[in-house]
Amino acid sequence: MAGTVIGEGLTIEGELTGDEEVVVHGTLRGALTTSDALSVAAGGVVEADLTASSVTIAGQVTGNVTAQERVDIQAGGRLVGDVKSARFTIADGASFKGSVDMDV
Amino acid sequence: MVKMSSDMSVVGARSQVTGRVAGSGGLRLEGSLSGDVSVTGPVEVGSGAVLEGDVSAASLEVGGKLRGDATCTGGIVVRAGAEVRGELKGSSVSIEPGARLDVRLDTDVTLDLERRR
């Protein structure tokens, strides 16, 4: 069970900061920062800069993504924005537009 | 206790939200939220949670701190240990012993006495 869950029909306009896992089924506009894992589920819409330990995207994200560990865009997921992370995967069927900085 | 389901949102104990929260479903607050909440489902402010903002919801249960006005189509429950400051408007309001309040209550009640006048 994730610490923070934005449910399917819910929209947050503002800033979410935390120290625990975050799952987005709904909509978030603003900024999101967590020291734990972040997951944007299929159907989830995020228009925000994201910072997390790891980011999994199955929904739609517009914004820059920074992860300490990894960023994964799953099939059906869509990311428009720059990625900064040591590990980055784009699954078959995912969309991505932006630049990647793996800190090499 | 508000039942967990897919249309239930949770702000965890180690999370803070600043901004507007709106939409369908319910919300359980365990961390802190500074901003207005407008949802179609129930809102629960857990013990240890802090909500600074107005609430519009189907129902409200407060175990933590609430500073703001609440408008509910259903009932409002203030648990023991809760601290509430604002206006509570709902179909019914119940307050457990041990809650600390500085509130105005409105349950839209009309007494028969008033009607006859």
Residue B117 above 60 pLDDT?
A: no
Q: Which domain holds residue B75?
A: 10-15+27-109
Contacting B with CB below 8 Å, chain A residues are 2-22, 25-27, 30, 34
Q: Does residue A101 lie within any of the structural domains? A: no
Q: Does residue A85 lie within any of the structural domains? A: yes
Q: Which two tokens stand for residue B35?
A: 């901003």
The answer to whether the CB of B105 falls within 8 A of the CB of B88 is yes
Q: Does residue B117 lie within any of the structural domains? A: no
- Residues 6+ away with beta carbon under 8 Å from B4: none
**How far from B80 is each of B10, B19, B43, B91, CA to CA, in Å?**
22, 28, 17, 20
Q: Does residue B21 lie within any of the structural domains? A: no
Q: Does residue B5 lie within any of the structural domains? A: no
pLDDT at B4: 46
Residue A97 carries which side chain, given as an amino acid letter?
K
Chain B contact set for A20 (CB, 8 A): 12-15
Please give the tally of structural domains in chain B: 1
ipTM of the complex: 0.92
Q: Does residue A96 lie within any of the structural domains? A: no
Test A12 with B21 for CB contact under 8 angstroms. yes
Q: Which domain holds residue A41?
A: 4-90
Please give the tally of structural domains in chain A: 1
Average pLDDT of span B51-60: 98
Predicted model pTM: 0.91
Q: Does residue B20 lie within any of the structural domains? A: no
Q: Does residue B81 lie within any of the structural domains? A: yes
- As a whole number of Å, the CA-based R_g of chain A is 12
Residue A45 above 50 pLDDT?
A: yes
Q: Does residue A98 lie within any of the structural domains? A: no
> Which tens digit of pLDDT belongs to each residue from A4-22?
999 999 999 999 999 999 9
Average pLDDT of span A67-72: 98
Mean pLDDT of chain B: 92
Report helix, strand or coil for B46.
coil
pLDDT at B36: 98
Q: Which two tokens stand for residue B10?
A: 């949770």
pLDDT band for position B7 (cuts 50, 70, 90): confident
pLDDT at A24: 97
Q: Does residue B2 lie within any of the structural domains? A: no
Residue B1 above 60 pLDDT?
A: no
| Torsion sign over Cα A11, A40, A46, B46 | positive
Q: Does residue B74 lie within any of the structural domains? A: yes
Residue B11: which H helix or E strand, with range? Answer: strand B8-11
Test A8 with B18 for CB contact under 8 angstroms. no
Q: Does residue B1 lie within any of the structural domains? A: no
Chain B contact set for A16 (CB, 8 A): 11, 15-17, 19
Q: Which letter does DSSP use for residue A58 in this model?
A: S
Residue B19 above 70 pLDDT?
A: yes
